[in-house]
Amino acid sequence: MTPEYYLYLSAVLFTIGAAGFLLRRNAIVVFMCIELMLNATNLALVAFARMHGDVTGQVFAFFIMVVAAAEVVIGLAIIMAIYRSRRSASVDDASLLRY
């Protein structure tokens, strides 16, 4: 299997994630779309690393996984706080936190 197939799959996954991020209002779904985009990026980085015979892309993918794990912990805590105060997980309600 050539790396081009992995890059096509990565592009499709990233497009689905970006569309979901832009179109959905539920914070949990937006969160999952961000994770989908990060995983698509990881797939592309590993494919490029395999194509060039280097481990640099895999190291970057590892760092992205660490950042994604930290993002999940902090993001879910924020979403839970918003849900407890507003009884909704809509991103439109999150904009009211600045007042």
Rounded CA-CA distance 5/62 in Å is: 21
pLDDT tens digits, residue range 13-27? 999 999 999 999 888
Query: Number of folded domains in the chain?
Result: 1
Q: What is the CATH number of the domain that holds 33?
A: 1.10.287.3510
Q: What is the pTM of this model?
A: 0.84
| Per-residue buried b or exposed e for 59-81, using 16+ beta carbons within 10 Å of the residue's own CB | ebbeeeeeebeeeeeebeeebee
What does the pLDDT read at residue 59? 93
Residue range of the domain that includes 36: 3-89
Domain presence at residue 98: no
Domain presence at residue 94: no
Who's near 97: CB < 8 A, 6+ residues apart? Answer: 82
**Three-state DSSP class for residue 26:** strand
Domain presence at residue 77: yes
Residues of the chain with pLDDT under 70: 95-99
